[in-house]
């Protein structure tokens, strides 16, 4: 394990949480977008997107160290990565009555995106808090490494 292992792990979490915040911001920006994707000649409303995270796989050197007995099998994690950005197909579109809207159907209803601003704000606060916690971990790791370098003085 490298001296920078903790920093690399934290950096991967910072990158993942930043992307998660970007996707949430995209959802909020498209809360009223009724023409997002053309499907079979008809426009579909914007679908909410979610981020799926998964742990990073170990590198060859980690497996080699475990095989040589210089590292434990249950050694520290390697970080996190974004495995997929999914569209929320489970939540239905909201039907809003507005017969004057250009995208209204024969009954006067418009398919609005399945984005709930309240849910997005909760997710954004969660992502922000995770990001802040990882910044704190990164700074603590940096301070410890700095103090370790001062020992040799």
Please report the DSSP string for 41-96 in residue order. TEEEPPPPEEEEEEEPPPPHHHHHHHHHTSS-TT-----EEEEEEEE--SSPPEEE
What is the pTM (predicted TM-score) of this model?
A: 0.80
> What pLDDT was estimated at residue 149?
86
> According to the model, what pLDDT value does residue 42 have?
85
On whether the CB atoms of residues 79 and 62 are closer than 8 A, the answer is: no
Mean pLDDT of 68-75: 63
Structure-token pair, residue 131: 């990001």
For the chain, the average pLDDT equals 88
| Beta carbons within 8 Å of 55's beta carbon, 6+ residues apart | 77, 78, 79, 80, 81
Handedness of CA 98, 26, 56, 132 (dihedral sign): negative
- The residue-averaged pLDDT of 56-62 equals 67
% of the chain at pLDDT higher than 70 = 87
Kindly tell me if the per-residue pLDDT of 1 is higher than 70: no
Confidence of residue 68 (pLDDT cuts 50, 70, 90): confident
């Amino acid at each position: 394990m490298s001296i920078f292992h903790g920093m690399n792990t934290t950096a991967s979490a910072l990158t993942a949480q930043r992307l998660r915040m970007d996707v949430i911001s995209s959802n909020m920006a498209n809360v009223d977008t009724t023409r997002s994707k053309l499907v079979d000649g008809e426009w579909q409303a914007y679908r909410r997107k979610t981020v799926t995270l998964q742990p990073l796989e170990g590198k060859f050197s980690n497996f080699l160290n475990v095989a040589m007995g210089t590292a434990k099998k249950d050694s520290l994690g390697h970080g996190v990565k974004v495995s997929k950005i999914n569209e929320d197909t489970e939540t239905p579109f909201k039907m809003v009555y507005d017969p004057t809207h250009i995208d209204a159907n024969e009954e006067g209803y418009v398919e609005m995106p399945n984005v709930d601003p309240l849910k997005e704000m909760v997710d954004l606060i969660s992502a922000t808090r995770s990001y802040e916690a990882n910044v704190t971990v990164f700074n603590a790791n940096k301070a410890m490494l700095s103090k370790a370098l001062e020992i040799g003085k």
